[in-house]
Structure 1
Amino acid sequence: MYKVLVVDDSAFMRQLIKSVLESTGKFIVTVAQTPLIALDKVRKFKFDVITIDYEMPYMNGVELIKKIKEITDTKILMVSAYTRPGAYTTFEALSAGAFDYILKPSSDEEIEEFKYELIKKLTAVCEEFKVEEVSKTQEITTAVENKILLEESVIERARTAKVIGIGISTGGPPILEKMFKSLKQDFPIPILVVQHMPPNFTKPFADRLASITSKCIKEASDKEEIKSGCIYIAKGGYHLAVEDINGKLCTRVLDLEKIKSHKPSADILFSSIAEACGRASIGIVMTGMGSDGSDGILEMRKKGALTIAQDEKSCVVFGMPKAAIEKGAIELILSPDQIVELLNRI
């Protein structure tokens, strides 16, 4: 049984989250209606995960996350409003230490989706940290061995890339923030990113990354020529693909059905890169639940592209990299720092 603390000043939300989680038989739920009560409980008891609302008396959710992180390293899930202002506060929460967020339901229809996402996210993060120590040891060894593989032949292959594709989900925003800040200012190869996010969140996310890194980072638009050194974030609610139009690589923003429950989908991005660029590309699959990206990045590897997965130790959830590795789609397993080291040597 996993122990969860629910912090919310709404009696409806406290009861909703409590009843949903307890109905699974996997969770024991404690509730706190104010941040001050929550801090008292965190000091007295150990929890596997904490859910936190943003708008609360005495202090907001971001301030509470920072105070909790001074006491414990317990995983925190932010309960966010489905609005553009809600997106900005969500990214503050992720930077403060939340591992992920979930959108607060605003209608009866959204409650069922909320229940499904809540159970999925909390189960995944709780189970991730019950991994046996021997598995972690084996993974660390693999990552160290791959650092040795960052020899000149790998760097030379990377230098031939016309484009880099990244597929990432749970735990992604803080990692991308850190990576893009560490990427050299004159990095020449364009990067396309599928970060699983709802429509109102991707533009604020791209704007935030651009302001923090002082790099060309933007939400992708349709049929835009892909420029050297720019980073394009897939638009929430649409797929992002690459297409060769009259000899120029361009973005495509596609309103197609979901792939593996995702829109945008990393599979769509990776498959299009395999088709448009072949071996002259790099595919990177990073932290996230499920298996999105595993089929597309396998296509890239079959075409001769350099394919990379984030290592288990640095992932919030190892699902997406693990699925790609198990398919035989991955050539290198690296930490985010090692990925940046590789890219900065191009």
Structure 2
Amino acid sequence: MYRVLVVDDSAFMRQLIKSILEQTGMFSVMVAQTPLIALDRVRKFKFDVITIDYEMPYMNGVELIKKIKEISDSKILMISAYTYPGAHTTFEALSAGAFDYILKPSTQEEIKEFESELIKKVTAACKEYRIPQITKAVTDDIKDFKMSVEDNLIERAKAAKVVGIGISTGGPPVLEKMFKDLKKDFSIPVLVVQHMPPNFTKPFAERLASITSKCIKEAEDWEEIKPGCIYIAKGGYHLAVEGKAGKLYTRVLDLEKIKSHKPSAEILFSSIAEACGKDAIGIVMTGMGSDGSDGILEMRKKGAITIAQSEKTCVVFGMPKAAIEKGAIEFVMSPHEIVGLLNML
């Protein structure tokens, strides 16, 4: 049985999270109403997962995460407010060491969704979560980075009109690092589907732009795709690429969820396959589930370069694994190797 610590100054939230997890029969749950009590619990007991609210007495959630990380290797799930300021604090929590976040419910309908997401994410933290490391190729039939540089990969990559990225759990810190390391004069536009709710994608884009000093923005409908710009899919909408009169444009589409996601990487990759054919790069990265596997397979069938993040560098290997198993991936690389390739273009 997995052990979970719930840290929240709200008695209602403590009991809600405790009851949701305990009814699965998989978790033994302890609670703490203040950060000071939480630190005492962490010193005395070992927990697989710790859920933390942001607004608490004595210290906020980000400060508590940093202190816990000094004394424990427990995985931390942030309980976030569904607000613009809540988004900014969530990204701080992810940078401080939280592996993921979940939105705090405010209605009865949201409680049902919260229950499903909580069980899924805490279970994933216990069973699938890993501390990212550097790895080589996953299988013999997929070329590793050194091999790929020796063939015509660079020439193929230079012809790319866009780079598409699908990413989920563990994504924000990885994207921060990758875009920060991307060379200043990198000219190929990048489109990103990062699974996030509506109020989070704009502050996420603003944070990335501030940290990297690059052109990074939340995508708008019918926006001409410009060289060197990075477009983040808008939460609650799908992001697609459409060609018109020799130019490429972003499309922001209000369609049904795909594989429980909106935005979904399936739409992005499929549209890139249609609009750009072989002249594109598709990258599927850390995340739970299989989003993007069908779309990136379409890209590979059109001759585009398709890359999956390597297993040991993923927080959760679900999305890359699904794409690899479907035969959609040509290369497996670490984020460092992906940036290395892009910086050669």
TM-score where L is the length of structure 1: 0.96
1:82-118 superposed Cα distances (whole Å, 9 cap, x missing partner): 0111001111111111111000001111000000000
* Counterpart code for 2:169: T
C-alpha deviation, 1:314, in angstroms: 1.1
Cα distance in structure 2, aligned partners of 1:225 and 1:124: 38
- Quickly say closer, same or farther: Cα 1:143–1:93, change in 2 above 3 A: farther
Letter in 1 for 2:118: L
Moved over 3 A (4+): 139-145
In structure 1, the gaps of 5 or more residues are none
Once the two structures are TM-superposed, the CA of residue 212 in structure 1 deviates from its matched residue by 0.4
Aligned length: 341
Letter of the aligned partner of 2:88 in structure 1? Y
SS at match of 2:312: coil
Q: Distance in 2 between matches of 1:55 and 1:233?
A: 28
Match of 1:184 in 2: 183
Task: Summarize the Cα distance change of 1:141–1:232 in structure 2 as closer, same or farther, 3 Å threshold.
Answer: closer
- 1:245 deviation in Å? 1.4
Name the CA shift for 1:250/1:91 in 2 (closer, same or farther; >3 Å): same
What CA deviation, in whole Å up to 9, does each residue of 1:112-164 have, x standing for no partner? 00000000111112111599xxxx99x64538961222315211111110000
Deviation readout 1:171-201 (Å, 9 max, x if unpaired): 1001000100000011010000000000000
Q: In 2, Cα distance between the equivalents of 1:331 and 1:55?
A: 45
The CA distance in 2 between the partners of 1:140 and 1:40, in whole Å, is 40
- State the match for 1:6 in structure 2: 6
CA distance in 1, matches of 2:313, 2:87: 24
Structure scoring higher RCO (CA < 8 A, sep ≥ 6) equals 2
Equivalent AA in structure 2 for residue 271 of structure 1: S
Query: Which residue does the alignment assign to 2:127?
Result: 127
Structure 2 residue 55 is matched with structure 1 residue 55: yes
Contact 2:286 2:319 in 1 (8 A): yes
Output the CA distance in 1 between the equivalents of 2:293 and 2:218: 23
**Residue type of the partner of 1:339?**
I
> Do structure 1's residue 142 and structure 2's residue 141 form an aligned pair?
no
Q: Percent identity?
A: 79
Q: Partners in 1 of 2:273 and 2:297 — Cα distance?
A: 9
Alignment-derived partner of residue 281 in structure 2: 282
Is 1:218 aligned to 2:214, yes or no? no
- Match of residue 28 from structure 1: 28
Name the counterpart of 2:107.
107
Report deviation, 1:321: 0.5
**5+ unaligned residues in a row in structure 2: which ranges?**
none
Conserved 8 A contact 1:143-1:335: no
User: Structure 1 residues 221 and 60, CA, compared in 2 at 3 Å: closer, same or farther?
Assistant: same
Q: Which whole-Å CA distance do the structure 1 matches of 2:191 and 2:139 have between them?
A: 24
Structure 1 residue 307, shift from structure 2 partner: 0.3
SS in 2 for 1:229: coil
Q: Does residue 97 of structure 2 align to residue 97 of structure 1?
A: yes
Q: 2:137 touches 2:310 (CA, 8 Å); kept in 1?
A: no
Q: Sort the Cα spacing of 1:129 and 1:200 in 2 relative to 1 into closer, same or farther, 3 A.
A: closer
From the superposition, tell whether residues 240 and 129 of structure 1 become closer, same or farther in structure 2 (CA, over 3 Å). Answer: closer
2:38: which partner in 1?
A: 38
Q: Aligned AA for 2:210? A: S
2: CA distance, partners of 1:113 / 1:16: 13
